[in-house]
């Protein structure tokens, strides 16, 4: 059997990232942030660590970076708070965990992982998820920790309307973060985290916490983390669709991603993208929007970072 080259890919959201408004300073800030966040997971793979640890570590770093809409820097809800969603999946055993509508959780991806490992459930929500977090010593932060001025300004513009805004399409603050990885043992993993949509209400839930839609990993096929307009991604069952096209139709990762992102989603009107790695270490980063904050690297190889 050929030696496996571990690899990792991350995203910081996809959407209308206008080149004209992306100043060189902002471009540098995003590039630096992507570099730091992929480095965190890459180091684990380089030292022989697992794919599940690599994606957890990179997504935690992305959540801690206020430029991105997840963890610190999550968008404002209609009532002025922050409600976050996250999920994680281990392709080696198809174990998965997710949380939705959680408040004050510093790193929702850590809570999703704890759900996967310790709860016996797959998806916990709101008060119950927070109760579970307390029992498991997950870090909490006050509401102000998650506030950022840009998110506040975005919310001010639409807070008195019925309108909900996908953060990906507001100026330069893009939504949802994620990571996928293949480790030296041939195991795949995927993780995704988000603050969702600005001004969201009624406990609106997007694709991110739903296993098979925003996140999926299976050692037989691929690992996927999505970013985009959640309602369309849910209706398209995006992540599992890519895996199914590989498993049942024999498509390559590249063919499956192309069909789902640039054909099926586009026909439905769903804007966004995904990051994907297959069991052979092929990497795909497709998007049908103007841009997607993204980075990838194979162990020992060159690091790729791009926005448009
Ligand atoms: N893709 C994130 C969301 O729609 O909530």
What residues contact residue 31 under an 8 Å CB cut-off, 6+ apart? 305, 307
Residue 153, CB half-sphere, CA atoms under 13 Å: how many? 7
The pair phi, psi for residue 24, each rounded to 5°, is -55, -35
pLDDT for residue 153: 79
Q: What's the gap in Å between 150 CA and the centre of ligand 1?
A: 18
Q: What 3-state DSSP class applies to 78?
A: coil
Which residues lie with the beta carbon below 6 Å from any ligand 1 atom?
A: 175-176, 194, 196-197, 206-208, 227-230
Give me ligand 1 centre to Cα 15, in Å.
Answer: 11
Which atom of ligand 1 is nearest the CA belonging to 226? 1
Task: State which ligand 1 atom lies nearest to the alpha carbon of 227.
Answer: 1
pTM for the whole structure:
0.95
Q: Considering only CA atoms, which of 208, 170, 233, 193 is closest in space to residue 17? A: 170
What is the average per-residue pLDDT within 172-201?
Answer: 90
Whose Cα sits closest to atom 4 in ligand 1? Answer: 230
Q: What is the mean pLDDT of the chain?
A: 93
- Domains, in order of start, for the chain: 7-306 (3.60.20.30)
Q: Which pLDDT does position 172 carry in this prediction?
A: 37
User: Residue 18's pLDDT band (boundaries 50, 70, 90)?
Assistant: confident
| Token digits of residue 213 | 């839609």
- Cα 68 to middle of ligand 1, angstroms: 13
Give yes or no for residue 173 having a pLDDT over 80.
Answer: no
Ligand 1 centroid – CA 286 distance (Å)? 17
Average of per-residue pLDDT across 39-52: 98
**Ligand 1 atom, smallest distance to 175 CA:** 2
Whether residue 161 is predicted with pLDDT greater than 80 in this model: the reply is no
Residue-wise pLDDT tens digits, 251-297:
999 999 999 999 999 999 999 999 999 999 999 999 999 999 999 99
| Cβ-proximal residues to 118 (8 Å cutoff; 6+ apart), any chain | 136
**Between β-strands 123-125 and 95-102, what pairing exists: parallel, antiparallel or unpaired?**
parallel
Q: Which atom of ligand 1 is nearest to the CA of 205?
A: 5
Q: Is 23 a catalytic residue?
A: no
For residue 173, what is the DSSP state? B
Catalytic residue among 56, 60, 100, 176: 176
Taking the C-alpha atoms of residue 206 and residue 229, their distance in angstroms, rounded to an integer, is 8
């Amino acid at each position: 059997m050929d030696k496996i080259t571990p690899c990792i890919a991350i995203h910081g959201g996809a959407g209308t990232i206008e080149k004209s408004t992306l100043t060189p300073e902002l471009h540098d800030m995003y590039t630096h942030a992507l570099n730091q966040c992929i480095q965190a997971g890459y180091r684990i793979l380089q030292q022989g660590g697992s794919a599940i640890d690599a994606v957890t570590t990179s997504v935690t770093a992305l959540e801690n970076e206020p430029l991105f809409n997840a963890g610190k820097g999550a968008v404002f809800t209609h009532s002025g708070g922050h409600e976050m969603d996250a999920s994680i999946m281990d392709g080696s055993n198809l174990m998965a965990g997710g949380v939705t509508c959680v408040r004050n959780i510093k790193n929702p991806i850590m809570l999703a992982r704890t759900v996967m490992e310790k709860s016996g459930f797959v998806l916990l929500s709101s008060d119950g998820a927070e109760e579970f977090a307390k029992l498991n010593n997950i870090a909490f932060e006050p509401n102000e920790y998650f506030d950022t001025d840009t998110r506040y300004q975005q919310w001010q513009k639409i807070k008195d309307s019925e309108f909900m805004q996908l953060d990906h399409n507001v100026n330069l603050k893009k939504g949802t973060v994620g990571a996928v990885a293949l480790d030296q043992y041939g195991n795949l993993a995927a993780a995704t985290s988000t603050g969702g949509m600005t001004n969201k209400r009624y406990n609106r839930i997007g694709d991110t916490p739903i296993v098979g839609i925003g996140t999926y990993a299976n050692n037989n096929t691929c690992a996927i983390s999505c970013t985009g307009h959640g309602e369309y991604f849910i209706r398209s069952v995006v992540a599992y669709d890519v895996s199914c096209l590989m498993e049942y139709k024999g498509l390559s990762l590249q063919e499956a991603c192309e069909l789902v992102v640039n054909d099926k989603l586009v026909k439905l009107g769903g804007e966004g993208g995904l990051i994907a790695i297959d069991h052979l270490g092929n990497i795909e980063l497709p998007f049908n929007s103007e841009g997607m904050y993204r980075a990838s690297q194979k162990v020992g190889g060159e690091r790729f970072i791009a926005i448009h």
